[in-house]
Structure 1
Amino acid sequence: MNLEHRLATIAERHGVPGAAVGVLHGDTVTEAAYGVLNRATGVAATTDSLFQIGSITKVWTATVVMRLVDDGLLDLDAPLVDVLPELLLRDADVTRKLTMRHLLTHTSGIDGDIFTDTGRGDDCLKKYVGLLGDAALTHPLGATWSYSNSGYSLAGRVIEKLTGDTWDAALRELLFQPLGLTHTVTLPEEALLFRTAVGHLPGADGEPEPAPQWGIPRSAGPAGGVTATVADVLRFARMHLDGGRSADGTAVLSAAAITAMAAHQVELPDKHTVGDSWGLGWERMGWDGHRLIGHDGNTIGQAAFLRLLPERNIAVALLTNGGNAARLYEELYREIFAEIADVAVPHPLGPPDEPVAIDVAPYAGLYERASIRQEVLTGEDGPILRVSVTGPLAEVLKDQNVDYRMVGVAPDLFVCQDPTTGNWMAATFYQIESGERYVHFGARATPRIG
C-alpha cells in the first residue's frame, strides 16, 4: 500500500485539513502525513508534527498509575481516601469506597464531563478535585459503565500525591524520558516549540476553520492533555506490545501490569461505539475473531485513533485536526488491517436493511448530566434524539441543539444520524439493578430525569 497516497485520498474525501498516520509492524515503522496544520497559515503537516491525542492520554495516565502499583505505592482496590484523605464527593459512602480501579474502568459514577477550568497553576488538579463534592453522581458506584473524564483528572491528582510532583512532571519522568519521547508534551508553552497542529471546527459554510481555542483546561490534562507526534505515540504503543520495555530494553512497566491493563475488567452497556469491554485504561474490541486494544481521543477540533493487535505485534496511530475524522479512520484502518494482518475491520452499526418497528414512547423524556442534555422526542418525520451541550463546553463549541434522527435496530437499541456528518451513532436504553433508567449515547450513561 502507498500509505501517503491512501491517506491523502481518503482525508481529502472527508474534509480533513491535516493528518499523520503511523504503522508499527514488528520492528518496522511506516509514517505518512497529509494537508496543513492550520488552514489560516497554510503550514504543511509533516510526520514530525505534533497533534493533540486527546483521550488516548488516559492510557498514558493509567500506565503511570500501574507504575506506582508496580512500585508498591498504590493498591488498585484500596479506598482512595487512604491517599487523598481530603477527598469529598457528594455521597459519603461513595467517598469511602471509591478505588483507583473504579476510576481506570469508568465505573465510579462521577459525572464525566465536568470541564471546570481551575487555572494554569501547578495546583490546578488539587483545586479541581476540591470541587468534585458538587459534582453529580450519575449512577451508583460500580453499577454501570460511563466514560468519565473527571475520574481521570482525579487519578492524575492521586499520581501527584504519590510522586510529590505535578502530573505533567510525573509523566515526563516516568514515561517520556525512559521511552525517549522527545516530541511529546503536555503544556501549550511546550507545544509552541514544535510544529504543532491547530484544531478545526465547521464554519458558517460548513468548511473547517481554526477553532477559537487551542487546548483543553490544564485540569483536564490527565484525561486528554498529551500532544505528540505519531512516532512517539507508536513508541508508547510498542512498550505495551513488548511487555513493558522500551526500545533499548529499559523496564518501564512490569509484564504483569501490561497484561492486567489489557485484560477484561467490565462489559460495556453499548457494544457498538468504543468496543465491547474495558481494561485498565484500554478499550477492548473484537475484530474478525481477533482481540485488539486501543483508544480514541477528541479535543477541540482534533481527533486521534490508536489500535493495537498484540498477537501480530501491530499498532496503528492516526492523528487529525478536523473534518470527518471518524470516516477517515474507518476507511484507512480497514485498508491497513486487511493488507498487513488479513483482519476485517467491522463496519459501524447503521440502520437495518429491513425496517424494525419499535415504539419510541417508552423511551421518550429528558436525560441529563453535566455538559449534556438529551431528549427523546417525536418529530414530524419520526423520533429524534435532541442533544444540547451545556456549561463551559457550550461556550467554547458554541453548539446549538442538534437533532439526531432515530432508527430502530432492536428492542432498546436505536441508531441516530448526525445531521452534519451523516455518521450513525448507537443509542442504547437500559435499566440498572436499582431501577434507574439510562440512555447510553456517545459512550456515556445519561440518567433519565423526571
Structure 2
Amino acid sequence: MSGHTAVDRRVREALWPFVEQVVEDWSLPAVAVCAVHRDRVLARGFGTADRSSGARATADTLFHLASVSKTFVAVAVLQLVESGTLELDAPITSILPALRWADPRAEGITPRLPLSHRSGLGDVSDYGWHQPELDDDALARFAARVAGWPLERDPGSGYRYSNAGFELLGHVVATVGGAPFEQHLRTHVLEPAGMAASTFLRDDVPHHLAALPHVGLPARVPGFAYPYTRSHAPSSSLHSSAAELGQWLRVHLARGDGLLSRTTHDSMWRPCGETGKPGWHSGIALGWFRGEHRGHAVVSHPGSDPGFQSSLVLLPELGIGAVALANANAAPVSGIAAAAVDVLLGLEPGGLSLPPVTARLAPVLASGGVEAAADLFHRIVAEVPSTSSVEDDEFEDAVWGAIELHRTDLARPVLELWQRVRPESSAAWRMSGWAAEVDGRPDEAATHLRRALALDPGNDDARAALQRVTSAAPPAGLAP
C-alpha cells in the first residue's frame, strides 16, 4: 500500500468518524478539519455552517479564524524585513513617526517584541464588535489609541499576550508596504500561498461559503452580530477554509517556499521565550507558539472569538500538520487537531474530555425553561459514571460570546440557569455582572460583581469589572 493510500485510509476510517461523533456529542453546529501529510492535503467539513438556513459545512466553508490570523501577519512582517524595507530591531517609534507615544519606554519596542508578545503592551479590552469600524483608516486610528497607552512593563522584560501589539504590526505593514493592511496581505501572502478565497475583509466572503457564528444555549446565529471590525483585522479577522489552510500548512512544512527564504523562515520559528503554559503553547517564537506533542517539536496557534474557535498545529520534523475550525465556542478544536495529528502518526484518535453538560441541557432549556433544565442538570450530576463535564467552564463557554457581541438576550437564560444550579459560583456572578455592564445597568452589575467577590475574594476579573462599573467611566463591552 502506498504512503498516500495508507494515510487516506487512516483519515477516512479513524479521523472522520471521530470528528462526526464529536460534532454529535458536543451538539456543535459545524467543524471543518484538515490533515496534512507532507504534500497530501485531506480536508472535510461536518455539520451546519448556518443553523438558521441549514447550509452544510464543507472543506471550502470560510470560517473566521480569530488569532490564527497572527501567523499570516508574522510572515508579512518578515517579508518586509527580508526585502530590506523594515528592520526587525528598529524602534517602532521611528517606523511609525506620526504616532504620539505616551510612554517614553515605547522607544524600546521593536517589531520583534510584539511578534513574540514581549512588547510591554497590555491587551485589548473592548473589541467593539457591536460598533464595527469598516473604513480604510480604522486600523490607523486604533494604532494611535494604542500609542497613547502606558506600558504594563518594560519592553522585552517578559511574555504578555497582546492582540494590540499585532494591530500595531498590521499598521506597520500597511505603512511600510504602502497599501491597506488587507490588500497587502492578499497580494503578498494569501495569493502566493495559493489561498485565493481567503480574505481579511468580511465583505469578500461569499454568502454561500460563510460559516456564521453560533452563541448562547442552544447555540444559534446572533442575527447581524459578528466578530469583525477592521480596527482589529491583523489580530483576528482572517477568513479561511480547512482546504486553503491545508495549503498554508504545506508552505510551512516546505520551510516557507514561495513566501520566505529558508533562513528567514527558520528565524520565525526560533524560540524567543517561555509563556508559562503547558503543551503546545509553552514557548513563543515570532507569531507562533512552540511546544511538543508526544515528544515531537510543535509549532502552533489557537484562535477564539465570539462564535468561533480554531486550532492550527505543525510537527515540522515529521512533515505533518492539522487544522480544526468550529463556529461555536464550546468546540474542542485543539483536541480535534491533536486527534488528527495522532491519526497521521498511526495512533487512535481520542483523549478528549467529557462533552459539556450544556450540550444535553440546551434542548431542555429551549423547550422547558430554566426549571426543567435545572432538574436535568441535577440528574446529570448524580450519574455514575459521569457522562458530561459539569464544570463552570462549560457555562462560561455558552455565554461569553453572546455577551461580547452585545447579544445578552441570548446569554440571560443560561446565566439564570447557572445561578440556579451553582449559586455559590463566583464565575456565574462575574459573568452576570459583565452582562449587566454591557446592558448599561451599572447598579445591577455592581451587585453581581460584589457577590462574585464575596464568594471568591481572589476573583481579579470581578474586582477589575467592579472598579469599572463604579467609576465615572461609561459602561462598555469589556471582555472579562
Range class of TM-score, shorter chain: 0.7 to 0.9
CA separation of 1:392/1:256 partners in 2, compared to 1, >3 Å: closer, same or farther?
farther
2:116 maps to which residue? 105
Structure 1: how far apart are the matches of 2:431 and 2:120? Answer: 21
TM-aligned CA distance change 1:280 to 1:343, over 3 Å: farther
* 2:263 maps to amino acid: A
CA contact (8 A) 1:66 1:257 kept: yes
Aligned to 1:289: 295
- Aligned position for 1:33: 45
Please give the alpha-carbon distance, in whole angstroms, between the structure 2 residues aligned to 1:292 and 1:197. Answer: 28
* Percent of aligned pairs with the same amino acid: 24
1:425 matched to which residue of 2?
Answer: none
Query: 1:24 Cα deviation (Å)?
Result: 0.6
| Secondary structure of 2:75 counterpart | helix
Contact 2:29 2:328 in 1 (8 A): yes
User: What is the CA-CA distance between 1:176 and the residue it aligns to?
Assistant: 1.6
Give matches, 1:250-399, under 5 Å: 251-268=258-275, 270-272=276-278, 275-326=281-332, 328-330=333-335, 332-341=336-345, 395=438
**Alpha-carbon offset, residue 276 of structure 1:** 0.8
Match of 1:139 in 2: 153
Q: Secondary structure at the match of 1:58?
A: helix
Equivalent position SS for 1:329 = helix
Distance in 2 separating the partners of 1:380 and 1:182: 50
Q: What do the CA deviations read for 1:341-369 (whole angstroms, capped 9, x no partner)?
A: 2579997999xxxxxxxxxxxxxxxxxxx
Contact in 1 for aligned 2:280/2:293 (Cα 8 Å)? no
Q: Deviations over 1:131-152 (max 9, x none)?
A: 1244343333222211111110
1:315 Cα offset (Å): 1.3
Amino acid at match of 1:199: P
Unaligned runs of 5+ in 2: 1-9, 355-403, 405-421, 460-479
Structure 1 residues 215 and 157: alpha-carbon distance in aligned structure 2, compared to 1, 3 A threshold: same
8 Å CA contact 2:121–2:162 kept in 1: the answer is yes
Q: Name the residue aligned to 1:197.
A: 211
Instruction: State which structure, 1 or 2, has the greater radius of gyration over its C-alpha atoms.
Output: 2
- Could you say which structure has the higher helix fraction? 2
For the 8 Å contact 1:185–1:191, the answer to whether it is kept is yes
1:219 to 214, 226, 231: 231
> Which residue of structure 1 lines up, in the alignment, with residue 194 of structure 2?
180
Quick one: distance in 2 between partners of 1:299 and 1:98?
27
Q: CA offset at residue 175 of structure 1?
A: 1.0
In structure 2, what is the Cα distance between the partners aligned to 1:296 and 1:72? 30
Q: Give yes or no for the alignment of 1:46 onto 2:52.
A: no
Show the counterpart of 1:150: 164
Gaps of at least 5 residues in structure 1 are: 246-250, 351-370, 372-378, 408-413, 417-445
Out of 177, 182, 185, the residue aligned to residue 171 of structure 1 is 185
Query: What's the CA shift string for 1:159-214, capped at 9, x where partnerless?
Result: 01111101101011101221221220111210135510001112xxx211113412
Contact preservation (8 Å) 1:306, 1:317:
yes
Give 1:387 shift.
Answer: 5.1
Q: Counterpart in 1 of 2:471?
A: none
Q: Do structure 1's residue 55 and structure 2's residue 59 form an aligned pair?
A: no
CA drift of 1:392 comes to 12
TM-score for both structures, normalised by structure 2? 0.69
Residue in structure 2 matching 1:242, options 245, 254, 266: 254
Q: Secondary structure at the residue paired with 1:185?
A: coil
The 3 A distance-change label for structure 1 pair 103 and 344 is: farther
Paired with 1:99 and 1:47, the residues of 2 have a C-alpha distance of 38
C-alpha distance in structure 2 between counterparts of 1:300 and 1:138, whole Å = 26
Deviations 1:356-386 (CA, angstroms, capped at 9, x unpaired): xxxxxxxxxxxxxxx9xxxxxxx99798797
Distance in 2 separating the partners of 1:280 and 1:136: 23
Do the aligned residues in 1 keep the contact of 2:100 with 2:148 (CA within 8 Å)? no
Aligned residues: 369
Length-normalised TM-score, structure 1: 0.74
CA offset digits 1:314-346 (Å, max 9, x no partner):
1101111015212x531x334333332257999
Are the structure 2 counterparts of residues 4 and 287 from structure 1 closer, same or farther at C-alpha, using a change threshold of 3 Å?
A: closer
- Counterpart of 2:220, as a letter, is E
Cα distance in structure 1, aligned partners of 2:85 and 2:219: 46
Q: Secondary structure at the match of 1:37?
A: strand
Q: In the superposition, relative to structure 1, how do residues 47 and 78 fare at CA in structure 2: closer, same or farther (>3 Å)?
A: same
Q: Using the alignment, how far apart are the partners of 1:95 and 1:183 within structure 2?
A: 37
Alignment of 1:55-134 (within 5 A): 55-92=67-104, 94-114=105-125, 115=127, 119-134=133-148
Shift of 1:274: 5.9
- Decide whether the 8 Å contact of 2:37 with 2:319 is kept in 1: yes
Distance of aligned partners of 1:381 and 1:87 in 2 relative to their CA distance in 1, 3 Å threshold: same
